[in-house]
Amino acid sequence: MLTVMELRAGNLCEFDGILYRVTAFQHVKPGKGGGFVRLKLKNVEQGTVTDKTLDSWEKVPEPPVEEKEMQYMYKQGDKFVFMDTETYDQLELTEDEVGEGYQWLKEEMAIEVLFYQGRPVSVKLPITVDLKVTTSEPGIKGDRVSGANKPATLESGATIQVPLFIKEGDVLRIDTRTGEYLERV
């Protein structure tokens, strides 16, 4: 069992035998009374979105998922191709199955694919990834209005905000949970 406070965006949970992916999590602590959690849940099989409000002390059943290490190979059309590192079998997942983390995928990256009742439902990314900056305009000295940040496009295609000193070719460590720049590697 998982406590509601352990749930975060991207986690899987089960209600009434139906598998859901948490897409939004908000903890609310009113001035009077106990806190509660608002969840936005996406049905993994049907794709429908449901809102659920639970008390912060409640527990939810953890779905019986299997983790299998696989290697991300490439993107083909709207499918992401993964290879089993033991059997060399290839598996194609859609953007919905990969989830929000698709923008951090890098070719030959080892990740965990989650299987529910024998079929793939999600991927579990590492907490940080190192990606190379492909395009970034030079920072303007003295520009402090923008908070000393500028946009940079990474080799995976994602665009993030980085400090002014970052230039093309730099390798950056990115937090996959928040999408924020952590440091230059």
pLDDT in tens, 90-128: 888 888 778 777 888 888 888 888 888 888 887 888 888
Task: Please give the pLDDT value at position 15.
Answer: 82
Q: What is the mean pLDDT of residues 16-28?
A: 83
Burial class (CB in 10 A: 0-12, 13-18, 19+), 5: middle
Q: Which domains does the chain have, with CATH numbers?
A: 2-60 (2.30.30.30), 65-124 (2.40.50.140), 128-184 (2.40.50.140)
Q: What is the mean pLDDT of residues 21-31?
A: 82
Q: What is the mean pLDDT of residues 156-175?
A: 86
Q: Report residue 24 as tokens.
A: 């939004």
Q: Report residue 122 as tokens.
A: 């999600």
Q: What is the mean pLDDT of residues 4-9?
A: 76
Q: In this prediction, what percent of the chain has a pLDDT beyond 90?
A: 0
Q: Which of 100, 107, 45 is nearest to 82 (CA)?
A: 107
Task: Please give the pLDDT value at position 152.
Answer: 87
The overall average pLDDT reported for the chain is 82
Task: Please give the pLDDT value at position 140.
Answer: 66
Q: What is the mean pLDDT of residues 153-182?
A: 85
171 or 177, which is more confident: 171
Q: Which of 142, 141, 109, 144 is nearest to 124 (CA)?
A: 109
Q: Report residue 129 as tokens.
A: 């990834």
Task: Please give the pLDDT value at position 139.
Answer: 67
- Model confidence at 167, pLDDT cuts 50, 70, 90, reads confident
User: Strand 59-60 and strand 128-136: pairing?
Assistant: unpaired
Q: What is the pLDDT of residues 58-68, one digit of tens each?
A: 888 888 888 88
Q: In this prediction, what percent of the chain has a pLDDT beyond 70?
A: 95
Eight-class DSSP state of 137: P
Q: Quickly count helices (H) and strands (E) in the chain.
A: 1, 16
Full-model pTM: 0.68
- Model confidence at 145, pLDDT cuts 50, 70, 90, reads low
